[in-house]
Structure 1
Amino acid sequence: MKLIGKNGFSLVELMVAMVISLFLTLGVFAMFSMSATNVTTTGQYNQLQENGRLALAIISQDIEQLGFFGDVTGTDFIIDSNTTIVGAISDDCVGAGQNNATLPNTESAHFRRVWGYEAGVSGSITCGSTALDAIDGTDVIQIKRLVGPAGVSAGYNVATNSSQIWFYGASANVPSDANLLLTNSRVWGYQHHIYYLQTLNEIPVLSRKALSSSGMNIEDQLVEGIENMRILYGYDEDGDDAAESFLPVANVTNMMWDNQSFQRIVAVKIFLLVRTIEQDPSYTNDITYQLGDKTVGPFDDHFRRKVLATTVMLENPVLIRN
C-alpha cells in the first residue's frame, strides 16, 4: 500500500535511500578524514626536513671556517709579543681550559679556537655570571674565527699582518684604518659563536650566542624544533690530513682541543634530532633514534621526529700544518 501518491516513494524505498545516503556520507567523511591525516603527516615531515636542513646549513657554514685568523692563521697568540688587545669584553662567555674566552689571555696555554661539551654531563660555559642555559644531554660547540671579506665591520674587529694581530672593538678609541693599526695589515670582523639548544615556550630551539662590538651580549634563536644535537670530533693522529676516528666530546683530550703536535681536529660530524612544533594526536612515537654514538628514545608521545646529519671538513687545521 502506497503512503504517498502513486508517483512518490514507498516507505521501504525511502528507508533504503536513507541507508544508502548514510553510507555515502560516512564514506565521504572517511575520505576527508584520511585526506586531512595525510595533509598533516606530509606537512609535518616537510617541516622536519626544512628545519633540519636550515639548522645544519647555518652551523656547517660557520664551523668549516673555524680557526681562520687572516695572515696569522695557525699562529699562537702571545700578549705583548705578537698580540695586542684594546678594550675588554663585557659578559664574556668562557669555556674550559686556561685560555678559552673570547680574547686570548696571558696564560701559556694555547688559545682555543674550538671547544665543546655535553650539557649536564661534562663541562659548561659561563657568560658573565650565568651558566649557559642549554638542554641537558645535548652538545654545545664554541668556535672563534675571522670573517671576510676584509674590511671594518659593525661588530668587533681584528687587524692582522703576517706576524701580528690586534683585537679591538668598534667602541674602542682606535683608528679604523688598518694602515694606522699595523703596517701592511688588513682588518677583519671577529666572530665568537656558541651554538646550543634551549627550550622556549616548551619548544626546543637552536640558539646562538654571538659577539657584538661591546661583548657577548647577542642571543639569536635560529631554528625551532631542534631537540637534540650530537657532535663527533674527527682527529688526525698521524698527520695525513684525514680523521682516523670520530670521538664524542667526552673523549676529546686537552691536546686535541689545543691542536698540539699532530693531534689536530680536522672534521666534525653533526647529528640533529628534529621535532615537530605541534603534536599529532593520531600518531604515537615509539621509535628509537641513533645520533652518532648516542641512542635516544622512545619518547612515547605524539611528536614526529627525524635525524639529519652532515660531516664538515675543517680546512684551516689542515692548511696550518701543511
Structure 2
Amino acid sequence: MTVFSDKWSARAKQSGFSMIELMISMVISLVLIAGVVSVFQSNKRTYITGDALAEIQENVRIAYDYIAREVRMAGSGYSCLANVTTVQNMLNSTDFDFNFAQPLEAYDNGNNLPAALSGVVKSGTDALVVRGTYGVGAKLETELDNPSASLKVTSIDPPPMGVDDIVVVTDCRTASIFQITNFSGNGNSGSDNVVHNTGTGTPGNQTKNFIYPFQAGATVIKTRTIAYYIGTNANGESALFQRATDQGSSDTIEVVEGIQDMQLTFGVDTNDDGLPEGYYTPTQITDGSIGAEWSDAISARINLLVRSIDDNVVDSISSYTFNGKTITPTDKRMYREVSFVVAIRGRLQ
C-alpha cells in the first residue's frame, strides 16, 4: 500500500498547471506585453516629435544663415557706412538685376513683383532683394585716366575677378559700376589690368567714361543681386529659394524645404539718430505713406513659418499663430513661427 500511494503522489506532482493557473499566467503576460507596447509607442512618439523639432530648428538655422548674412551686408562695399553720395551705373541696364543704386528692397505678399520673380513667388508671401559686394577686393594702383577703358589694380593670386564680372570701384564717396570685358592677370606680382569697354558682354557697358577721377587706393570688388522668396519645389512642397545674379546671368537654388511663409518688416530711421522709429511693411515704404524711403531702412525683421516635412507628427490638429493671425491647418505636421532682426551694418551710426 505504501508503494501504491507513493506512485499516485508522484503522478499528482507531475500533473502540470491547472486551467486557472494558466489563465492567470496569460493575463499577467498580456499586462506585461501591454506595458511594453505602451512604453514603445510613447518612446516612438517622443522620438518622432523630437526629430521633427530638431528638423525645424536645423531648417531655421540654415534659412537664418543665408538671409542674415546678405541683409547684414546689404550695399556693403559701395555704401561704405552710407557715405557714398553718388552711384554711377555704367551698365546698359538698370532693371531688377542691375539696380545697384537700391541695395535693399522687398515685395509685399507677392504683389507688384518684377518680371524676374513673377510666377515663382508663393502667393501671399514676401520676397526680399539684397544687392551688394562679395569676395576679395583689389586696390587701384594709379589714378584713373578718363576716358579710359582700363584700370590698373593690385595683383592678387588667385585673381579675385575676371571677364563678365560686374564690379564696383569706390572710394566711399562715389561709386561706379561696370562689367569687365577683358582681364589680364599677373599672378601675385605687379598689377592686373581690368578692361571695361563697350560693345560686348551681358548686359554690357553703355560708357567707359567715369564721372569721377578715382585715386590710387580706391577699391574694385565684385557685385551681385540676391533675392530670397518662398516657392514650390519639385516635391510640391514650399521651400526657401535663392536667386542670385552674377556675371550678367542668374541662378536659382533651393535653400531649404519646409519654409511655408516669410513676412518682412523694416526698421526705418527718418531722423538719422541711428534708431528705428518703427517697423513697416514693404508696401508702406514703397508707396511713401510713412514718408520714408528704402535708404532709410536700417534693419529688417524676418518672420518665418516653418513646418515639419513629415505628416502625423502631432497627436491632433491644432491651431497656430503666425504674423498675428490664428490659422488651423488640415494636417498633423508641427508648425513653428520664428522671428529674427538683422541690422544693416553699412547704415548703422
Paired residue for 2:137? 150
Greater Rg, structure 1 or structure 2?
Answer: 2
Shift of 1:140: 0.3
Paired residue for 1:92? none
* SS state at 2:137 partner: coil
Would you identify which runs of 4 or more consecutive aligned residues in structure 1 move more than 4 Å?
178-183
* SS state at 1:211 partner: strand
TM-score (norm 2): 0.73
1:148-186 alpha-carbon deviations (Å, 9 max, x no partner): 4315246733141324423215xx345573666675343
Shift of 1:295: 1.8
On the 8 A contact 1:53/1:308 being kept in 2, the answer is: no
| Distance in 1, Cα, partners of 2:227 & 2:244 | 7
On the 8 A contact 1:207/1:222 being kept in 2, the answer is: yes
On the 8 A contact 2:134/2:223 being kept in 1, the answer is: yes
On the 8 A contact 1:285/1:301 being kept in 2, the answer is: yes
Aligned length: 285
Q: Classify 1:258/1:228 alpha carbon distance in 2 versus 1 (closer, same or farther; 3 Å).
A: closer
Paired residue for 2:269? 236
Please give the residue correspondences for 1:1-322 in structure 2 after superposition, counting only pairs within 5 Å: 6-7=13-14, 8-70=16-78, 74-78=84-88, 83-85=89-91, 100-104=95-99, 111-120=101-110, 122-127=111-116, 131-151=118-138, 152-153=160-161, 156-162=165-171, 163-169=174-180, 172-173=181-182, 177=192, 184=216, 185-200=218-233, 201-216=235-250, 218-253=251-286, 256-259=292-295, 264-280=296-312, 283-291=315-323, 294-318=324-348
Shift of 1:13: 0.6
| Distance in 2, Cα, partners of 1:9 & 1:205 | 64
1:253-280 alpha-carbon deviations (Å, 9 max, x no partner): 3554452xxxx11111111111100001
RMSD over aligned CA atoms reads 2.7
| Distance in 1, Cα, partners of 2:184 & 2:347 | 32
| Distance in 1, Cα, partners of 2:51 & 2:137 | 42
On the 8 A contact 2:266/2:282 being kept in 1, the answer is: yes
Q: Classify 1:35/1:209 alpha carbon distance in 2 versus 1 (closer, same or farther; 3 Å).
A: same
Query: Unpaired runs of 5+ in structure 2?
Result: 1-10, 139-159, 186-191, 197-213
1:91-121 alpha-carbon deviations (Å, 9 max, x no partner): xxxxxxxx6522249xxxxx3221111244x
Shift of 1:205: 0.8
1:84 maps to amino acid = M
Q: Classify 1:265/1:281 alpha carbon distance in 2 versus 1 (closer, same or farther; 3 Å).
A: closer
Query: Unpaired runs of 5+ in structure 1?
Result: 90-98, 106-110
On the 8 A contact 1:234/1:266 being kept in 2, the answer is: yes
Q: Classify 1:258/1:310 alpha carbon distance in 2 versus 1 (closer, same or farther; 3 Å).
A: closer
